[in-house]
Amino acid sequence: MSQTLEYTALSDQALIDLLFTEADRLPRAAADEIIRRGVPLAPALVRILDDEELWTTDSSRWWAIVHATYLLAAMQPPGALETLIRTLERADRHDVDWITNDARHLLSAFGPTAVPLLRSAALDGKLAPYVRVYIVKKILLRRLLAQGEGRFFATSVIHG
């Protein structure tokens, strides 16, 4: 309990700074506090994910992108799904298995209300093929099959 209280006393910036300094050892209590604070911290997480230099650094600061991805998915602030789709594309390009291997969990956390956006993303020919196929295969197809639309939708993605 005292560990949780320690993180509640930190400023928003001090919590975000932990994403850069703790490498793969970010304490669960720190992550929980970031999630608890929610939307006000979302822009800082998005800035981390949009920082191209972080994606290619050899330092332990690289872990900030992994933490920011999971935290944003857990928080689900407005615009988070669009950011995560962009993040999956970057993760695929930079071969970040820590993110791509959990794409299904990251995206499916948004539930049925995400289907229209995921459907649109899957049909977007500009999006990385990995991301499009993953959305169709792991998320949308299951939901659309339940609605009787799956076969038509999958054909649309494959044939453009």
CB 100 within 8 A of CB 88: yes
Kindly report the pTM of this predicted structure. Answer: 0.83
pLDDT of residue 1: 40
Contact 68, 48 (CB under 8 A): yes
d(CA 91, CA 78): 21
Cβ-based neighbours of 110, under 8 Å, separated by 6 or more: 73, 76, 80, 81
What residues have CB less than 8 Å from 34, skipping those under 6 apart?
15, 16, 41, 71, 75
The pLDDT tens digits of the residues spanning 53-81 come to 999 998 999 999 999 999 999 999 999 99
Give me the DSSP letters along 42-59: HHHHHHHHH-HHHHH--S
Percent of the chain with pLDDT over 70: 82
Residues ≥6 apart with Cβ < 8 Å to 39: 75, 77, 78
pLDDT value at residue 97? 93
**Cα dihedral value 128, 72, 47, 9, nearest 10:** -160
The confidence band for 139, taking pLDDT boundaries of 50, 70 and 90, is low
pLDDT of amino acid 5: 61
Mean pLDDT in residue range 19-28: 94
100-127 pLDDT per residue, tens: 988 888 887 887 788 888 888 888 889 8
Q: What average pLDDT does the segment 33-39 reach?
A: 96
Query: Which of these ranges, 4-8, 19-23, 48-52, 70-74, has the smallest mean pLDDT?
Result: 4-8
